[in-house]
Structures are given as C-alpha cells and as structure tokens.
Amino acid sequence: MPTTISDAFHLYDTTLRDGAQREGISYSVEDKLTVAKMLDNYGVGFIEGGWPGALPKDTEFFARIAAGELVLKNAKLVAFGATRKAGISAEDDPQVKALLDSQAPVITLVAKSDVWHVEQALKTTLEENLNMIADTVRYLVANKRRVFVDFEHFFDGYKHDPNYGVQAIQVAMEAGADVAVLCDTNGGMLPSGISKIVTDVSERTQARLGIHCQDDTGCAVANSVAAVEAGATHVQVTANGYGERTGNADLFVVAANLQLKLGIPCLPEESLMDSMRVSHALAEIANLPPDTHQPYVGVSSFAHKAGLHASALKVNYALYNHIDATVVGNDMRVLVTEMAGRASIEMKGKELGYDLSENPVATTKVVEQVKNLEAHGWSFEAADASFELLLLDAITGESTKKFRIESWRTIVEQREDGVIASEATVKVWADGERIVATGEGNGPVNALDKALRSALVQHFPQIAELDLVDYKVRILDGGQGTGAVTRVLIETAENGRRWTTVGVSENVIAASWLALEDAISYGLLGK
C-alpha cells in the first residue's frame, strides 16, 4: 500500500464524474467502487465520486461507501455539486443538502466565473452569483466540510472580464473555501495563455489555486503542467484522459511529468511503478482498449523500430529513452521490421532470452530473412512468436517444429437449407507417423484448426490447452480487390500466457494457415 502524500500538492482524480462523461463509457455502481479502490491504492489524494442527488447511481455510490462497503486508505472522497440556486438559501437547497447527505468529507462546488455565463446561462445578476458562491461555501464549511470551488469557464471568462472571476475567487476564499480551481471548460487554451492568467490570478488573490483542463486543443497535459509551473498546487485529472469530447488531462501522464520532470511528489514514489498496470486495468473496466501510444504507459511508449536506435540502445538505454521505462511499470522493446539491423535482432533476441552476440551467422541469416519477408508484406512487430520460431531455426540450423505438414485442404458448402458448413482435411507427420484428420467448423479457418488439433492431440496432448482467442485480417494492397495480399494475425492463449503469430498470402485461407501452424508450433515448444 502506498505511503500517504502530504497536503502540499493535490493530485485530484475526477474519472468517476468528468471521465464518465466520455462517449461510450457507462460505469455501473460496482464499476465505480472498483475504480475508486484502484485509484486509492494507486495513491491519488482525492477521488471525486460523482454528483449525489443529481444522478441515482452517484447517490447509491456514496451511500455504499458511507455504509462501509469501501474504506479509502489514502485518498479523500469528494462529492461534486453546484452552488445554491438563485433566490433561495443554501440550507433550503435540496441539492446542497444531498451533498451533506453523501457524508463525503470534501465537497467540490461548480460556480460561474464568466459574466457571459452568469447573465446568459444562469440568468441572474453578477451580485447574486457572488452571493450564491459565498453562501454555499460558508454553509458547507459550517457543517465541517472541506470545500474546493471549480470556477467553470474561468479562462474564457477572464478574456471577457479579467476582474469578475478574481472577485468570485476572493468571495469564495473569504467564505472559507480551501482551493480555487481554474477550469478551462471549453478546452481552448494554450500553455502560454494558461501561464499568464494563472500567474496574474495568483498575484492578485493570494488564493491556493488549482487547474482543470479539457483537451480540445490537445494541450490538457501541457496546460496542467504550465499551471503548476505558474503556481497551481492542485491538479484535476482523469484516468487515461477520459472525458467529454476529446477528454481531460491524463492522470498517468500528468503524474509522471510532475514527479519525474518537475520533482513534485504528487504520488507515493512506489506508485509510479504501478502506472501501466493500473492504466490498463482501468481501461478494461471502462470497456475500452488501452491506448498503445499513450505516453509513459502505452505498450509502444518505449518501442524502437529503427536500427540506428537499437545500435545506440545496446550501449546505453538513455540515448533514445527520456526515462527508464521500468520506473512507470513499462518495458523498452525493440521492434523487428524491415528497418532491423544486427543490433535490433540481437536486442530482440536478448529480450526473448537468446544471446546472439556470439552467433553472427544466425544473426545475419535472421536479418536477411526479416527484410525479405517484410518486403513481401510480413510484419513481426506484433508477432513475437513467429519471429522467435524463425530465430530458433536460424540458431539450430533446422526446423524446430515438432510436426511436418504434407498437405491441407478446405471445402465450404452452402446447403439447401441455407446453412453454410466448412470442412477441412490435413495430412501431417509427427513422430514418424503419417496422420490424416478432418474437422468441421463454422468457417474454413475454424475447420482447419479443429482438423490440425485432431491430428496432433494423440502425440501432443497439451494441444488441448491452446485456445485461439483473436483473429485479425488486413488487406495489404487494396487496389487488387479480392486478389489482394492479406496479412493474418492469430493470438493464442494457454494458462494465462499469450502469443501472436503471423501469416501472409494472396489467399486469405493460406495466410490463416501459416499463422495457425506457427501458433500451434509455438505452443508445443513448452516455454
């Protein structure tokens, strides 16, 4: 469990409220509890759970935490809501009451700080809006709640009137608010503008400032860092940058930048090493694929393709990496492509457990094979298992496959009742025995898979444990229509272990067979 970070700097997560507004995300209450537990274990300082009283799921979430279903060990739970409505007192506003009923120790209020929004959206006077802020903050503080205030559209409002937003902050702080959060709600700011305004507001108010950035200009992370450099000590983020429209500032990227580049201890040091695991786990809960090119935690973040890079990396990883990948729980990888040179192959071999430094003949052979195959459409970047088989053959000087294919064929038949059936026959040799087997499936690849397994299972019982879990087809030269060269990737699993193989051919079934044959062969290596 991470050690608790001091209150000097706030890493504030709003995945369960702002992040949940991303198109395609719909957290159940169980999901929200799981996400909150993971964020707490990761070490963030504050977890905003949602808007109690406005959304039934959020109300239930807070009720279940209040009942002891989840005990936060590191983070403070935050309830989000609005200032009182115009014309009524804070104690008579049911939405404000719901915030207290949530039993959250910290409450974040959203308040208007843009004269345009006060007059056109809120439809009240500028003075009444200030009273709404002050009254609500004062009432919540009197009820022993710590209060943060999100000043919505602050940066756009500053451009309309540079004084009104500052006045709103001063009113909130005088009423007892702890942090004034400047929100780039429309996400239209650039770092230079953020720096200028945060610096000015800091000098004019002496308030503790926070920052909340949307990513509509692609600058949410940069804007957040710029705000911190200008004096903000509270940063609002979401896991993997989830959020409305183009999203929010990414928790994992912001935390790594602040901690590793600026030396700000916003997370327990040991938590950073969990970054990649937590990022991917939260993506799974959101039912979204992890972003392969996400800074720090994407699987491609420290992947190198060019042979020039690999040559330098053999000497010192820091020559082409801005940090040690393991600091954030990631790994440096060398991709095997047509750009590969000897250094790339040697480093990839070492990554897979083979020392090629004393085997220049095998290294040269693999380099030539990879370049030749990739010139014809093969790709080993995502097919480590196929590459490893090729590597083993070069090292041993012979095929490492435990069976030999004599022939295979498939038949696809549409029957009178409309049912489409596939049948395959394979002829293989294993342990000196010739075996002929057939299989039926819902498609030709499925039928081939069943036939090959049927042929080999008596000689290799472990084949029953191999599961084909993913199958991808890509057309490599679309201009050729149905005669185009296709590349097939097959992912196979066995007892939690996964590997990917590749096949390429003008015939999609043949490409599938090549990938399938490699998949079974790799599984039988017993690694």
Residues 68 and 191 grouped into a single domain = yes
Is residue 360 located within the same domain as residue 472? no
- Could you report the per-residue pLDDT of 288-340, keeping only the tens digit for each? 888 888 999 887 777 766 444 444 444 445 566 677 777 887 766 665 544 45
In a domain, 481, yes or no: yes
Q: Which of 235, 252, 285 is the last residue of a domain?
A: 285
Are 343 and 468 within one domain? no
The tens digit of pLDDT for each residue in 37-56 reads 999 999 999 999 999 998 89
Q: How far apart are the first and last CA of the chain?
A: 33
Q: Specify the higher pLDDT residue, 353 or 233.
A: 233
Domain count, the chain: 3
The answer as to whether 99 is a domain residue is yes
Structure tokens at 491: 């992912």
* Residue 439 within any structural domain of the chain: yes
For residues 120 and 424, give the distance between their C-alpha atoms in angstroms, rounded to a whole number: 70
Query: Are 155 and 211 in the same domain?
Result: yes
Output 165 or 365, whichever has higher pLDDT.
Answer: 165
**One-letter amino acid for residue 201 of the chain:** V
Measure the CA–CA gap between 21 and 13, rounded to whole angstroms: 14
Answer yes or no: do 82 and 53 share one domain: yes
In this structure, what CATH number is given to the domain that contains residue 423?
3.30.160.270
Which residues touch 116 (CB under 8 Å, ≥6 apart)? Answer: 153, 156, 157, 160
- The domain containing residue 308 runs over which residues? 303-376
Q: How does pLDDT run across 425-439, given as a tens digit for each residue?
A: 999 999 999 999 999
Please answer whether residues 135 and 86 qualify as being in contact, where contact means their C-beta atoms are separated by less than 8 angstroms: no
Assess whether pLDDT exceeds 60 at residue 243: yes
Tell me which of 336 and 148 has the higher pLDDT: 148
Residue 313, pLDDT score: 46
Has residue 25 been placed in a domain? Answer: yes
The answer on 313 and 221 residing in a single domain is no
Q: Are residues 44 and 151 in the same domain?
A: yes
Arithmetic mean of pLDDT, 143-158 = 96
What pLDDT shows up at residue 312?
46
Select from 238, 256, 285 the last residue of a domain.
285
Has residue 186 been placed in a domain?
yes
User: Same domain for 58 and 188?
Assistant: yes
Is there a domain that residue 293 lies in? no
Confidence check: pLDDT of 482 > 60:
no
pLDDT tens-digit series, residues 169-178: 999 999 999 9
pLDDT band for position 341 (50/70/90)? Answer: low
Higher per-residue confidence, 438 vs 121: 438
Does position 77 have pLDDT exceeding 50, yes or no?
yes
Convert 300-318 to b/e letters by CB count within 10 Å (16 or more is b). Answer: ebbbbbbbebbbbbbeebe
Residue 419 lies in a domain: yes
Give me the pLDDT at residue 309, please.
Answer: 46
One domain for residues 279 and 316: no
CATH of the domain at 54: 3.20.20.70
Q: Is residue 298 part of a domain?
A: no
